[in-house]
Structure 1
C-alpha cells in the first residue's frame, strides 16, 4: 500500500486488507480497526452508488441491458472465449441483477413510464458490482478473527470465515430445468389447500414456476426467432403490396396484421426491456400467488436500513425472502437463481398467511413427505431394499425413546437418513453470526447428532431391537446387527438447497466420522432429483455414495456443492484417490471447483430431454456383467459391483478384453478364468450351461491369492446360456488358504503356474480404504490405497 501523500487514488480493497493484517500482526489493533472501518465504509459507499444509479434508470430498460450482457457473457464462456468486459462477466451481472431486485424492493424511485437508460451508467452499475463483490471478500477476510472459544471452539474463526465468504459467493449460475419436478413433488401434499387459496393446485403451480425458468433460459432465443419470422413475412408482403408509397404499404401491413404486431412488440420487450423477466406475461400463475412471491416497490425496509453494512452483500438480500418485485406492467423476477431457492418458502408463508389454521397440517404432511423422500426419489435404485420409517429405540445413554426417520437396508449396505425441514440460514453471518449458526445447527449438526446416536446404539450390542409406536405402545418389529453391513452411510437431508452449507459443514469441529469410520453426508432434496437422473442404477448410486462419503471425511478439501461432487465423480471416478495424492504432496488444504460444469452443460438447451446424462464409460461387456450382478442379486453383489466400478477405464477395458477372448472358448471348456493384479485381487470365473461352478471359483481364487501374495480375492463367478448371453453372476470374497491346509503345497505349485494368466500392471485406480480425517501421509506411512506397502514405495513413487 502506498503512503505517497500526493497520490489521489484511494487504496484498493486488497491494499486495505493487507495493511489491516500487517497492523494486527504488529500488535497495533486500534490502527487495524480503523483500516477495517475504512474498508467497511468503502463497500457501503459502493452499495449506495449502485442504488442511486439503479434508481435513475427505468427498471425494464436496465433489466434488458443486464440480461443482454449476461447472454453475451454466457455465450462467450460456452465458446471458451475470454470475457474481457465487466458488463459481460456473469459474476458481476449476477450481483447487479440481485441489486436491481433489492433496490426496487426497497425504493419507489424513477417513474416507470419513461424509457430512461443511460448506457454508461448501466456499465458503471456492473463495474461497481464487481468492485463490491471483491471488496466484500476482502472485508470478510479482514474481519475474521481466527480465535478459539466461540460457538465451535478452536474452529470458530475458520467456520466464521467460511460462512461469510460462502454467503457472498453463492451466486447461482446453474441450470433451471427441474423446477417443475421439485415443486410438484414438494407441494403435492398440499394440493387441496393450494387450490382453495390460489385456485391452482401443486401441478399447475409447479408448471408455472418452470415457465419462469424457461422464459429466462430460452426467452432471448424465442424472441429473436419471432422477430426473424416476422421480418420474413413483412418483407414478402411489402414486396407484393400495391400501395402507392412505402409509408402507406407499412401502415396497411400494420392494420392487416394486428396479431403479428402484438407478438413483435412482445418480442422486442423480451429482447431489450427485460420482458423475459415479466412473469405476468410468461406464466399462468394466479395474481394472489404472484403477490405472495413479490415485494411491492419500497416495502422492504431492512436491507437499506441505516446501520453497519447498510445495503451490502453482507446483509440478507430481499431476493432470499421473496424472489419477485411488482412493477407497473407486471411481476418481475430480475434474478433467476433465487426462484428455486426462495419460492418454496415464500409459497409456504403466503399460504399460511391466507389460511392460518393450516400450519399444523402443513407441518404434519411435510414431515411425512420429507422423511420418505430419499427412498421415494430413489425407489428404482432401491428396489428390493427393506425400508423402515419412524422406527424407535431406547437411547442407551439416557434411556429415553428416540426416533430414526428412515433406515434403508439392501444387501450389505445400510443407509440411515435423518431429515431436517427447518428454515435455511436467512441471517447473514456478518451481521448475526449467532442466528446463522443456529440455522446451520438445525440443518446439519442436529441431523449429525441423530445419526451418530443411532449408529452408537447399533454398536452398543451385537444385536439390537427396533420398535414401532402403535397406539402409544412400543412394539418390537425387527432386530439388527451392525456387523452385517459392510457399507454404512449416515445422511442428513434438508429441504432447503444445501449449496450455502455444503462447503462449510465439514469444517464444523463436531462433525467427525461416526464410530471413527463413518463420515456424515449432508445433501438436500433438491440434490436428489439430479442424482436420480445421473445415477439411475443401484450400483451407480451406491458407488457414488461410497466415494462421496470418503470425501466427506477429508476435512482439508472443499467442494462447493453436491454437483461439484457429482461432476468430479463422473470425470475422475475415485476422485478421493486424486485428492489424497494431492494432500500427500504437502498441501494443507484443497478447493475443487468447476466440476459442476459437467452437470450444468447437460441441462443447456434441450439436450437433457432427449439424451441420457453423462456418465462414466464402461465397455459393453462390463456393463453386461454389472447388469447380471444386479439381476441375480445374490448376497454380496453390491460389494462385487463396487469392486468393478472402483477400477479405471484401462482396467475395465482389460476385463472386456479377457471376456471377449475367453467366452467363445466355453464351447470347448466347462469354465474359463483370468485374474487382475489389483488390490484386492479380482478373479473373473466364467462357466457354461447355466451352471456356476462356485467350488471351482473358490479354488482358483485361493491359487490367485497365493500367486499374488494377497490376503483375499474378490471372485465374480458368472455363467452363460447356450445362446451366449450371461445368465447369472455372483460375487464373493475368498481368503488366502492357511499353510496348515493339507492341499497347501499343491495350491502353491498351481499358483506358480497360474502367474501367466494374471493381468499385470493394472493401476489400483481408487481401490482405496476409507480415508478418515484426511491426515497428511508421510513417506513411511502405509499407503492410502490399502496395499499395505509404504507410501513412498507405492503411490508416492515419482
Structure 2
C-alpha cells in the first residue's frame, strides 16, 4: 500500500516519492562537493560589494514578490527568499570585504548571487536527509528529519499581530532590570519596535506612493507653467520634506537605518548588532557558511556598518528577541538569574490562565495545587474544571535548545523531554490517581494535610472527561503536536490518554478564535485529543488540527474513511490553515476593517449556533455533553437536526401532543408557548423509557422553549439517572413500546424496509436484526 498527500479535495499518489528518495541518495555525494564550490562563489560576490546594497536588493526582491503574488506562501521561491536575506546577512557578519567595495551591485551579478544562495539552500535540504555519522545511504529517523527541516526552512513562531503583545507581557515584569541593562524602558522599547516594523513592512510602499504623488504634481506644474525649465520645476518641490524623506528611503538606506526610524539606546543597538567579519564561528567547521548551522543573525539581528545600525528583516528579529534579551540581561546581571526564572514562570502561568479564561470564563481555575502521591508531595500548575471536564495543565517557561538539531540532536531531544515529556507525565499522575481513587485532595501548600490547608477536593464522580495539557513558552509545535511519532522514537509519553502539547503562541490563537465559545472549544479539544493517539494522521503544525476540525469536524474519522476508500496507510494534509493564516495576517494594524475577513469557524445553521449560545449562556450541568452530541453531526447532519426540530414544532402545532426527539444519546423536547400543555411525569417517562431502550443509566434532557412564532428564547438541561433492571423495564413497558413503534414507523415512512444490519431506529445502538426486528416478523 502507498502513502498519499491530501491537499483539500485532491489526493495525489506519492509513489514518485520513492524515486525522489533514490535520487536524493545519488545526489548526496555530489551535493557535498558542489556545495563547497557554491559557497566559494557566494563569498567571492559578497566580498566585492557593500553589504547595504546586497541586503537592500534582497529586500526589494521580497517586496516585488509581495506586489506580484497575492498569496506569497503559495510560491516556494518566496519562502526561500525569506530565508536567503538573513542567511546573506550572516555571511556578511563572517567575511572580510575587499578594499573599496562597490556601492551598487549589477543586476546580473545579483541574480547570480540569488541563484547561488537558493542552490545552497536546496543542497542543504538534501544533506539534512542523511545521517552525518553513517554511510550516505542511511537516512535518519522521521523525528530527526522533521526537526532538521523545521530548523532550516521554517521562520515565524507566531502571527505578527501577536508579536508585540507577547513581548509586552513577558518583559514588563522585568522593566527595572531592563532599564538598567538597556537604558530605556520596556514601554519605550515596544513603541520603537513598532517603528521598525512599520518602516520595513509599510515604509517601502508608502515612500513609493509619495514619489508617485510628487510625479503627478510635477506633471501638473509643467502643464500649468510651460515657460519653466526642468530645473525650475524641480525647485518647486525641493523643500517638500515628505518627498525628500521618500527619496532617502527608496534611493538610500533610511528604511533600514535604526537611528532614523527609532530612538533605541546606543547600548541596546550595540548588544544586538554585529559588524562586518566580526563573527568567527559561522565560517568554520564541517558546515562552514551553511544555513544548517545556527546563523549569527538569530542572536545579532542588527548590522553595524560604518558607525550606523541597520535592520533589513523583521522575522529574524522577532523569532528570537525575547530569548536574546534574556541572554543579554543575564550576561550583564548574572545574580538576576533566579529572579528572572521566578518571574518568567509566574508570568507564563498568568498568561496561560488569562488566555484560557477568555475561552472558558465560567470555569473553575485552581493554580499551584499540591497533592500527595505515594506519600510524596507533587505540584500541579493549573487545574481547570468545567461541567464534568477537567483540563490538567502543566506550564513550562524553560528555554528550548537553540542549537541546530543537525549538530546537537542529543540536546534537542533533551529539550523535548524537559518541555513536553516530563510535564505530560506529571499531569498524567492526577488522571491515574483519579481512576484509582474516589477523590483527590488538593492543598494550598506542601506543608501539611490540615483542613485549613485544603484548597479543593476533586471527586471522581464529578468528572467525565480528562485532558492532559502541556503549555510551553518556546514554540516547537512541529514536534509537540505529533505524539505517535514521539512514542515511536522512544519518548515516555502516556498511552491511550488524551494529550495536548502546545505553546503559548497557539493558545493565544485558540483564545482568539474560541473567545467565549466554551462548549465549541471543548468539542474541538475532544477531537484534538482523539488525534493525539492516532498514527493515521501526520500533521506539521498544531493549527493544522484546528483547520481540519473546521473543515471535517471529526477529522480522524474522515481520515480513516478516506484511507479505507483509497486503500492507503497514511495521509498528510497540506494548506488547510490558509483561512486561519489569512485571518490573522489581516489582523495587523496595516489593514482596514473592511479588508479583514470573518473569523474562521465551523459551518453550521444559524439556528444551531443560536441554540448552542443559549446553552452556553446558562452553563448548566450536562451542557458540554448536550452540545457535543449536537456538534458530532457534520455537514448535512446539522441541517437535518434543525429540520427535525422544525418538523417537531409543526407536528406539535397540529396535534397539540408533545413529541420526544432523540438526539444520539440525549432526549430533547420543544416546548411551545400557548400550544403545548404537558404533564412533567409524561415527559419523565419518555426520558426513562429511552434510557432503558439504550441501556443508558445516565441521560441528559434538553428542553427548548419557543415563543408563539416558534423562535427559541430559553433552554433547560436536566440530568436523569435510572437503574437498568427488568423491574424498571416492566414499569415503563408501555412507554417503551410506544417509543419503539413511533421510531420504526417514522423510519418506515421514509424507507419501505429497514435493513437488517442498519442501526435500530429505537435508539438502542444495536443492529436492527439483533433488536426490534423480531417484533415485526
TM-aligned CA distance change 1:437 to 1:636, over 3 Å: same
> What is the alpha-carbon distance in structure 2 between the residues aligned to residue 719 and residue 759 of structure 1?
29
- Tell whether 2:167 aligns with 1:187: no
The residue that corresponds to 2:716 in the other structure is 729
- Superposed, 1:85-100 pairs within 5 Å as 89-100=77-88
Q: Does 1:752 align with 2:741?
A: yes
Which runs of 5 or more residues in structure 1 are unaligned?
Answer: 1-12, 23-34, 148-154, 763-785, 791-798
Which residue is equivalent to 2:436? 460
- Which one of 486, 489, 497 corresponds to residue 518 of structure 1? 497
Partner residue, 1:572: 552
Question: 1:370–1:421: 8 Å Cα contact kept in structure 2?
Answer: yes
- For 1:408, the equivalent position in structure 2 comes to 384
- Is the Cα contact below 8 Å between 2:424 and 2:493 reproduced in 1? no
The change in CA–CA distance for 1:249 and 1:437 in structure 2 (over 3 A counts) is same
SS in structure 2 of the partner of residue 180 of structure 1: helix
Alpha-carbon separation, structure 1, partners of 2:679 and 2:613: 20
Q: Give 1:156 deviation, angstroms.
A: 8.4
**SS of structure 2 residue aligned to 1:391:** strand
Distance 2:461 2:492 in 1: 21
1:192: Cα distance to partner? 3.1
Aligned to 2:122: 134
| Distance (whole Å) between structure 1 residues aligned to residue 321 and residue 430 of structure 2 | 34
| C-alpha distance in 1 between matches for 2:74 and 2:438 | 61
Q: Which structure 2 residues correspond to residues 82-481 of structure 1 after superposition, within 5 A?
A: 89-109=77-97, 114-143=102-131, 157-172=141-156, 175-241=159-225, 244-254=228-238, 257-269=239-251, 276-305=255-284, 307-328=285-306, 330-396=308-374, 399-469=375-445, 475-481=453-459
CA contact under 8 A between 1:706 and 1:748: conserved in structure 2?
Answer: no
Greater Cα offset, 493-502 or 467-476:
467-476
Match of 1:776 in 2: none
Cα distance change of structure 1 residues 358 and 146 upon mapping to structure 2, 3 Å threshold: same
* Offset, 1:343: 0.6
Q: Deviations over 1:44-79 (max 9, x none)?
A: 443443343333333333333323333343455536
Say if 2:22 is the partner of 1:18: yes
Q: Aligned equivalents of 1:733 and 1:264: distance in 2?
A: 72
Q: 1:596 aligned to 567, 571, 577, which one?
A: 577
Alpha-carbon displacement from aligned partner over 1:615-664 (angstroms, at most 9, x marks no partner):
12232211111111111111111121222222223222223334445557
Q: Deviations over 1:109-148 (max 9, x none)?
A: 367985321222322233233322332232222327999x
Distance 1:16 1:694, change over 3 A: same
If asked which structure has higher relative contact order (CA below 8 Å, sep 6+), I would say: 2
Contact 2:622 2:700 in 1 (8 A): no
Conserved? CA contact 2:387–2:622, under 8 Å: yes
1:454-513 CA-partner distances (Å, limit 9, x unpaired)? 322333322222222177887332222345322211111111122453465542225576
How much has 1:299 moved relative to structure 2?
2.9
Cα distance in 2 for residues equivalent to 1:745 and 1:36 = 77
Give 1:196 shift.
Answer: 4.1
Provide closer, same or farther for how the CA distance between residues 207 and 697 of structure 1 changes in structure 2, counting only shifts above 3 A.
Answer: farther
Structure 1 segment 579-658 matched on structure 2, within 5 A: 579-584=559-564, 585-605=566-586, 606=591, 612-658=598-644
- Give the Cα–Cα distance (whole angstroms) in 1 for the partners of residues 506 and 264 of structure 2: 25
Q: Which whole-Å CA distance do the structure 2 matches of 1:314 and 1:759 have between them?
A: 66
Q: Sort the Cα spacing of 1:711 and 1:286 in 2 relative to 1 into closer, same or farther, 3 A.
A: same
Q: Give the C-alpha shift of residue 711 in structure 1.
A: 9.3
Distance 1:354 1:15, change over 3 A: same
- Higher deviation after alignment, 562-571 or 288-297: 288-297
In structure 2, the residue matched to 1:769 is none
Q: Distance in 2 between matches of 1:14 and 1:668?
A: 66
Q: Deviations over 1:130-186 (max 9, x none)?
A: 322332232222327999xxxxxxx98333233223322324497422212211122
**In the TM superposition, what whole-angstrom CA distance separates every residue of 1:77-129 from its partner, at most 9, and x where no partner exists?**
5369985xxxx811220221121221123235367985321222322233233
Contact kept, 8 Å, 1:563 with 1:596, in 2: the verdict is: yes
SS in 1 for 2:130: helix
> TM-score with structure 2 length normalisation?
0.82
* Residue 538 (structure 1) shift: 0.9
8 A Cα contact 1:105 1:299, kept in partner: yes
8 Å CA contact retained: 2:28, 2:127: yes
Q: Give the alignment's Cα RMSD to 1 decimal.
A: 3.9
Residue 359 of structure 1 and its aligned partner are, at CA, apart by 2.4
CA 1:459–1:338 in 2, change beyond 3 Å: closer, same or farther? farther
CA distance in 2, matches of 1:665, 1:746: 20
How far apart, CA to CA, are the structure 2 residues paired with 1:116 and 1:279? 21
Measured in 2, the distance between the counterparts of 1:46 and 1:719 equals 74
Structure 2 contact 275–304 (Cα < 8 Å) conserved: yes
Q: Which moved more, 1:417-426 or 1:231-240?
A: 231-240
CA offsets per residue over residues 749-776 of structure 1, 9 Å max, x none? 33212445579999xxxxxxxxxxxxxx
| TM-score with structure 1 setting the length | 0.80
Q: CA deviation at 1:414?
A: 0.8
Deviations 1:257-304 (A, max 9, x none): 2413322214414xxx67554444444444433333333333322222
Distance in 2 (CA, whole Å) between partners of 1:54 and 1:262 is 30
Does the residue aligned with 2:341 lie in a helix, a strand or coil?
helix
In the alignment, the residues of structure 2 paired with residue 121 and residue 649 of structure 1 have an alpha-carbon distance, to the nearest angstrom, of 55
SS at match of 1:322: coil
Contact 1:503 1:558 in 2 (8 A): no
Q: Do 1:674 and 1:759's aligned partners in 2 also have CA atoms closer than 8 Å?
A: no
CA separation of 1:437/1:190 partners in 2, compared to 1, >3 Å: closer, same or farther?
Answer: same
User: Separation in 2 of the partners of 1:372 and 1:412?
Assistant: 24
Stretch moving more, 35-44 or 428-437? 35-44
Structure 2 Cα separation of the partners of residues 197 and 455 of structure 1: 45
Distance 1:392 1:172 in 2: 37
Output the CA distance in 1 between the equivalents of 2:448 and 2:665: 53
Residue 761 of structure 2 aligns with which residue?
none
Q: What is the SS of the residue equivalent to 1:117?
A: coil
CA–CA distance in 1 between the matches of 2:599 and 2:20? 46
Task: Note the residue ranges of structure 2 that are not aligned, 5 or more in a row.
Answer: 1-16, 752-763, 769-777
Partner of 1:253, secondary structure, is coil
- 2:575 and 2:734 map into 1 onto residues whose CA distance is 55
For residues 129 and 760 of structure 1, the distance between their equivalents in structure 2, rounded to whole angstroms, comes to: 70
Partner-residue secondary structure (3-state), 1:459: helix
